[in-house]
Amino acid sequence: MAPAAAAAGGPYRGRFAPSPTGPLHAGSLGAALGSWLDARAHGGRWLLRLEDTDTPRCVAGAEAAILGQLAACGLVADAPPLRQSARGPAYAAALEALRAAGRVYPCACTRKDIAAHWAARGLRWPPEAETPYPGTCRGGLQGRPARAWRFRVDARDAGVQGIAGPVHWHDRRLGPQQQDVAQAVGDFVLQRADGLWAYQLAVVVDDAAQGITDVVRGEDLADNTPRQILLQRALGVPAPRYLHLPLVRAADGRKLSKQNGAEALELRNPVAALQAAGTVLGLPRIEAAGPGAWLAQAVPAWAGIIAAFATRSRP
Ligand SMILES: [Zn+2]
């Protein structure tokens, strides 16, 4: 199969980026397996990143548990993991570059202020939806203290050219996608009121630093992609290709997550755990005595699956 890393201009480099908020569950193993298989099917490298920027939610021992679970399944990274907690200076430099380019501004609004803005206009969003930021502090803080730094999504008013309208992007499985970020999300936070770095900034800076050519992750993260593409453009870093994987669902159809009680993976039988994750990804039943043998058969099966995606989702 042809090398597919042309988007970011280098040999394939993929990654799995778990948050150490607890051990892996069936859903997170699916993302790990999908990203590993995609890297191997392209003859590429597979890297790990621990997304531990949201430090209050991180759990002591979770990182070691995750690495142990991955190793038990035969999923071993090609380099030592990158930890977002050690990347503060890189995120600060990116924020400074965006500030120098007129792309960020301080914001004094609380969640309550934002909800009140929309409520005054008879609008409210359901709790699970993102409430768009109405741009209250675009023109200055009006004497209020700064809490967070926001990215100016549409900076035409700041004299920046070529950034109006919806973001169009291609997903290797889902096909052509688009989102008008200004309308759906508004100017989004890069550094939070508590000083922590927002996921969007950390991911873009780290994908660039790790030379990631292909982002393969769960479909629940697809909505973040247009924001990340806008940040890539503003920072002048390459855009990786994207593949969003089907999710493992809980019995009620919701995405399986730590928040809705997903249990830590039972790894006395790693082949059974790999097979369960692989079935959700579309792999056939693979008979194998151990995880290494299972994975060796899964790689060519995955190559066939992604070849079918490429035919079906061509832009
Ligand atoms: Zn504000």
DSSP assignment of 255-312, as one string? BP-GGGTPPBP--SSHHHHHHHHHHHHTPPP---SSHHHHHHHHHHHHHHHHHHHHHH
Residue 137 Cα to ligand 1 middle (Å): 4
- Rounded to the nearest angstrom, the distance between the alpha carbon of 103 and the centre of ligand 1 is 15
Question: Which pLDDT score, from 0 to 100, does residue 6 have?
Answer: 40
CA distance 253 to 191: 33
What homologous superfamily is domain 13-88+211-312 in, according to CATH? HUPs (3.40.50.620)
What residues does CATH 3.40.50.620 cover in the chain? 13-88+211-312
H or E segment and range at residue 233: helix 225-235
pLDDT of residue 159: 56
**What distance in angstroms lies between residue 291's CA and the mean position of ligand 1's atoms?**
50
C-alpha separations of 296 from 39, 215, 279, 287, 299 in Å:
13, 22, 16, 11, 6
Ligand 1 centroid vs 132 CA: distance in angstroms? 11
pLDDT of residue 56: 79
Q: What are phi and psi of 52, to 5 degrees?
A: -105, 35
**Which is nearest to 78 in space by CA: 210, 199, 203?**
210
Pick one of 3.90.800, 1.10.357, 2.60.40, 3.30.70 as the CATH number of 100-191.
3.90.800
Q: Is the pLDDT of residue 126 over 60?
A: yes
The tokens describing 48, both together, are: 């790990």
**Mean pLDDT confidence for 12-23:** 94
Domain span(s) for CATH 3.90.800 in the chain: 100-191
- The average pLDDT across 238-242 equals 96
Q: Which residues are catalytic?
A: 258
pLDDT tens, position by position, 214-228: 999 999 999 999 999
User: pLDDT value at position 188?
Assistant: 96
CB 254 within 8 A of CB 260: yes
